[in-house]
């Protein structure tokens, strides 16, 4: 039976006072807390397996609440994510739940929000999804390839080069619908992918991430990526999951 090895890590970095990132791997969640070392979990590939990261919006109250809410709801929905429509529906439900939990205008967490990016693994196929600027990469023999879509202003726009996102889950007192990016691709033994928040990708160029992924697997890859981001200044929360598909 094919199986997936998931190695995950979440850390506040060197600048932020609080970790507002969360993570889900199957039924396991790590919500707005810290791992001292990468955690490695092994899952059989039968029913859909979801692995995702969520980055609570900085500058908004309740970012840690928002990312945790989304991680837990995605974990609960995971076994039923059997197609692109099911993934979009789950992301839409997370967005509605965030707005409801915020309490509307005047609520303590009325503008809390989060990004989300992840994969759903099934035998022979992979669903990639995201809203915001957290990312999913394929890490294969031909190098690192971005599978998600950044919801950020174009680099040459007046707002380029900032940490603004053009869409997220929650993020405002009034409900705003989102359009999740969801794509399907084949999946086979030996495939690897990386999910991460922008605390990894902002300080590290893709060629550095590619070099680490080429050299290391599983927990060592997760550790070396975190180490590289911290060495580069660790300006934001760093959350990542390295997924490797194998066969017995």
pLDDT in tens, the chain (248 residues): 899 999 999 999 999 999 999 999 999 999 999 998 999 999 999 999 999 999 999 878 899 999 999 999 999 999 999 999 999 999 999 999 999 998 877 788 999 999 999 999 999 999 999 999 999 999 998 999 999 999 998 766 555 455 689 999 999 989 999 999 999 999 999 999 999 999 999 999 999 999 999 999 999 999 999 999 999 999 999 999 999 999 97
Quote the tokens at residue 95.
Answer: 């967005």
Strands 143-146 and 135-140: antiparallel
What is the pLDDT at residue 217? 94
**Distance separating alpha carbons of residues 190 and 168, to the nearest angstrom:** 32
What is the pLDDT at residue 158? 53
- The C-alpha torsion from 117 through 43 and 41 to 239, rounded to 10°, is 0
- The DSSP bridge partners found for residue 28 are 25
> Do 90 and 74 contact (CB within 8 A), yes or no?
yes
What is the pLDDT at residue 1? 84
What is the pLDDT at residue 56? 97
What is the pLDDT at residue 162? 56
What is the pLDDT at residue 151? 96
> Do 23 and 71 contact (CB within 8 A), yes or no?
yes
């Amino acid at each position: 039976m094919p199986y997936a090895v998931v190695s995950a890590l979440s850390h506040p970095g060197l600048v932020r006072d609080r970790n507002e990132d969360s993570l889900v791997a199957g039924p396991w969640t790590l919500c707005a807390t810290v791992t001292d070392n990468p955690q490695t979990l092994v899952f059989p590939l039968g029913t859909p397996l979801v692995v995702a990261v969520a980055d609570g919006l900085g500058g908004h109250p309740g970012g840690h609440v928002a990312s945790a809410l989304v991680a837990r709801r995605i974990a609960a929905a995971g076994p039923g994510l059997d197609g692109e429509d099911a993934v979009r529906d789950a992301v839409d439900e997370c967005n509605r739940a965030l707005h409801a939990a915020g309490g509307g205008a005047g609520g303590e967490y009325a503008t809390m929000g989060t990004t989300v990016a992840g994969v759903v693994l099934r035998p022979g196929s992979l669903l990639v999804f995201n809203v915001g600027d957290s990312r999913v990469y394929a890490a294969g023999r031909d190098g690192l390839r971005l599978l998600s879509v950044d919801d950020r202003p174009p680099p040459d726009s007046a707002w380029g080069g900032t940490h603004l996102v053009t869409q997220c889950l929650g993020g405002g007192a009034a409900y705003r619908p989102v359009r999740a990016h969801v794509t399907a691709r084949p999946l086979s033994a030996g495939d690897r992918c990386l999910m991460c928040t922008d605390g990894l990708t902002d300080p590290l160029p893709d060629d550095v991430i590619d070099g680490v992924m080429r050299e290391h697997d599983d927990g060592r890859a997760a550790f070396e990526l975190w180490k590289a981001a911290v060495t580069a200044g660790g300006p934001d929360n760093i959350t990542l999951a390295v997924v490797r598909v194998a066969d017995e």
